[in-house]
Amino acid sequence: MTWRGKLLHVHIAPAASYEMEELAQAQLIAGQGIVGDRYYLGTGTYSARPDVREVTLIEAEVLDAIAQGEPRIPGFKAKLAPEDHRRNLTTRGVPLSHLVGKRFRVGETILRAARMNVPCKYIEELLGLPGLYEGLLNRSGLNCTIEVGGVIRPGDLILPIDE
Amino acid sequence: MASPRIIMKLTVTAARKEPGDVLVIDLKHPRKPVLPAFEAGSHVDVHLPEGKVRQYSLCGDPTELGRYTIAVKRENDGRGGSAWIHETIAVGSTLPVSAPRNHFALKPGEGPTLLLAGGIGITPILAMARALTRQAKPFELHYFTRSRALTPLLAAIGSDLPGGNVRIHFDDEPQTRQNIAALLANRSDDAQTYYCGPPGFMAVVGRAAQHWPEGTVHFETFQPPEFDGAPPEPFVIELAEGRVVEVSAETTALAALRAAGVPLMASCENGVCGTCECAMLAGQPIHRDAVLSKEARGHRFIPCVSRATGVLKLDL
């Protein structure tokens, strides 16, 4: 099976808890992060706990499902805008959970997926959306390192390298 | 830990000087028509350069969904935050502001409400008066200031509040003066009092309201209470996992916990905002914050300013 996906949105936040800001283009620096983002600047909530958070991705398909009321969690109803989920890249048509350990292209850059993202209670409290933590369990996206940096823009193709 | 709040880079859409060296600032979101909602009594954190954070009450109308209004008094002897705002902020400036938080909410109920403001303490009280006006609930606002020429927000009070509910007391106009103790002497059964102002005013109202039952008198201070001056002594924090963190006399519990790798959010680091609040399991705390209620002091702890004797067990 192969796939071919698309980059829908790029968001960064300048520091922990700051609202995400959408970019028309973003500069990815290999081994570091997205220029201007909290994990590039070392000002993120989890910056003091080393882990791979150079770039985080989430599937638009997950946001669609949440908007349609899936999963059904008592008391949980939410529509998560791309600037709310606090991941950097919103993708469509990319099987993120299949990519752990693999490389793939986003536009002219190459990312390597390190691990599945784990949702946090922090975002639930930050957005005031009880149930969001459970709603994102096992599908809150992917944390990646940047192997080859470059400039990316919404609309860029996302393509597999390691099948 | 108290909930984190989203920080938004808001645009200053109006900035006008008012008497008393006060800058009244309107803030809107550059992209979103609606801001996170707030109730009367709420404050926001304003994030200043070099990591400084200051709390300001929202003094606008809570039903105006797209705008926050703060009033910043220039404190030349302060820590520099208000001076920076006065010198730097103008229409078009961007100011990072947190979503609102409320430690000073109006209690539900239909009883009469007594609102007392001293000087710039008018800001949360004005929002309360707006809310009570809109709800058509009985209230009386008493605003104490030094002189008419130094009194901010008089125009807003005059235009937005029913005149019959408002009395303004100027120290230098004897016919307007009001004895605070007399105002609080007789309490009707279901009355509530809310007050905010400078330390001297807070002390006078606090004394005058001593005979009111607990839970009927509410206040907010943006300055931590005065302490006994006892020098800080070292103590020990035991984490829920069993690890032990030593807090020396020279550092704060917050700094010691962070140095030990315990991630804690903090904002004012002055004991007034509640951001670093944590759950306390056992021990003898020395509470030095201005945010925990009497009840909360039995099981919560504010590590940016509070200390302890011996071993304090925290649920971290």
Find the CATH number of the domain harbouring B83. 2.40.30.10
Contact present, A131 and A70 (Cβ < 8 Å): no
Strand order in the sheet with B307-314: B244-247, B235-238, B307-314, B278-286, B300-301
Q: Is residue B22 part of a domain?
A: yes
B218-245 pLDDT tens trace? 998 866 555 555 678 899 999 998 999 9
Cβ-Cβ contacts under 8 Å, B3 against chain A: 125-126, 128
Cα–Cα distance, B307 to B255 (Å, whole number): 12
The whole-number pLDDT of residue B1 equals 36
Tell me the mean pLDDT in the region A25-54.
Answer: 82
Which of A17, A45, A49 has its CB closest to that of B6? A17
Q: Could you say which of B3, B7, B263 has the minimum Cβ distance to residue A18?
A: B7
| Complex ipTM tops 0.85 | no
Question: Are B79 and B54 in the same domain?
Answer: yes
Model confidence pLDDT, tens digit, residues B115-141: 999 999 999 999 999 999 999 999 999
Q: Which amino acid is at B237?
A: I
The percentage of residues in chain B with a pLDDT greater than 70, rounded to a whole number, is 96
Which pLDDT score, from 0 to 100, does residue B245 have? Answer: 95
Question: Domain check: are B215 and B135 in the same one?
Answer: yes
Give the end of a domain, one of B98, B127, B154.
Answer: B98
Q: What is the mean pLDDT of residues B38-55?
A: 90
User: Model confidence at B3, in pLDDT bands (50, 70, 90)?
Assistant: low
Q: Does residue B107 belong to any structural domain of this protein?
A: no
Where do the H-state alpha helices sit in chain A? 38-41, 60-67, 121-127, 132-136
Neighbours of B190 (CB within 10 A): 11
- Identify residue A107 by its one-letter amino acid code: G
Q: Which residues of A touch B8 (CB under 8 A)?
A: 18-19
> Does residue B260 sit within a domain?
yes
Closest residue on chain B to A123 (Cα):
B4
- B103 found inside a domain: no
In a mutagenesis test of the B interface, which of A17, A41, A86 is the best target, namely the one with the most B β-carbons within 10 Å? A17
**CA pair distance A118, A136, nearest whole angstrom:** 8
Identity of the residue in B7, B263, B265 whose CB atom sits nearest the CB atom of A19: B7
- Tell me the mean pLDDT in the region B70-95: 92
Instruction: Name the residue with higher pLDDT: A85 or A28.
Output: A28
Q: CB–CB of A19 and B9 under 8 A?
A: yes
The helix or strand, by DSSP H or E, that contains position A89, with its residue range, turns out to be strand A89-92
Measured between beta carbons, the chain B residues lying within 8 angstroms of A125 are: 3-4
**pLDDT at res. B15:** 97
Of the candidate ranges A69-78, B48-57, B178-187, the one whose mean pLDDT is the lowest: A69-78
The nearest CA of chain B is from the CA of A99 a distance in Å of: 30
Q: How many residues does chain A have?
A: 163
The answer to whether the beta carbons of residues A39 and A33 sit under 8 Å apart is: yes
Q: How many domains does one find in chain B?
A: 3
Residue B179 lies in a domain: yes
Average pLDDT, chain B: 91
Question: Would you say residue B198 lies in a domain?
Answer: yes
Residues B198-220 have pLDDT tens digits of 888 999 999 999 999 988 999 98
Inter-chain touch B6–A46, beta carbons under 8 Å: no
Q: How far is A161 from chain B (nearest CA, A)?
A: 37
Q: What percent of chain A has pLDDT over 70?
A: 95
- Per-residue tokens: B99: 């979503």
**Domain co-membership, B92 together with B158:** no
What strands lie across the sheet with B113-118, from one edge to the other?
B166-170, B139-145, B113-118, B192-196, B217-220
Q: Does B263 touch chain A (CB under 8 A)?
A: yes
pLDDT number for residue B224? 54
Boundary residue ending a domain (B48, B72, B98): B98
Contacts of A15 in chain B (CB under 8 A): 7
Kindly state whether B49 is in contact with chain A, defined as any CB-CB distance less than 8 angstroms.
Answer: no
Phi-psi region of B139 (alpha: psi -120 to 50; beta: other; left: phi over 0): beta
For A10, B80, B200, the CA distances from A77, given in Å and listed in that order, are 25, 43, 48
Which positions ≥6 away from B43 have C-beta within 8 Å? Answer: B55, B56, B57, B58, B100, B101, B102, B103, B104, B124, B220
Nearest to B215 by CA among B294, B292, B142: B294
pLDDT at B63 over 90: yes
Handedness of CA B226, B227, B232, B235 (dihedral sign): negative
Would residue B241 count as lying in a domain? Answer: yes
pLDDT of residue B2: 47
CA gap B250, B228 in Å, rounded: 17
pLDDT surpassing 90 at residue A77:
no
Q: What angle do CA A30, A136, A18 make, to 5 degrees?
A: 55
Q: Is A122 on the interface with B (CB under 8 A)?
A: yes
**Tokens read off for B288:** 């030095």
Note whether B3 contacts A126, CB cutoff 8 Å: yes
Residues B149 and B80 in one domain: no
Sequence ranges of the domains in chain A: 5-145
| Out of B4, B8, B261, closest to residue A19 by CB | B8
CA distance A10 to A82: 9
B46-72: average pLDDT: 92
Domain holding B55, by residue range, is 7-98
The fourth-level CATH superfamily of domain A5-145 is PK beta-barrel domain-like (2.40.33.20)
pLDDT at A72 over 90: no
Here the CATH number for the domain that contains residue B279 is 3.10.20.30
β-strand B217-220 against B235-238: which pairing, if any?
A: unpaired
Q: Where are the beta strands (DSSP E) in chain B?
A: 7-18, 22-28, 43-47, 53-57, 68-73, 94-98, 113-118, 139-145, 166-170, 192-196, 217-220, 235-238, 244-247, 278-286, 300-301, 307-314
B134 and B192, same domain (yes or no):
yes
96-155 of B, contacting A, C-beta below 8 A: 96, 98
- Contact at CB, A18 and B3, closer than 8 angstroms: no
Instruction: For residue B25, give the nearest of B76, B85, B98, B84 by alpha carbon.
Output: B85
Residue B159 falls inside a structural domain: yes
Name the residue with tokens 């909602």: B37
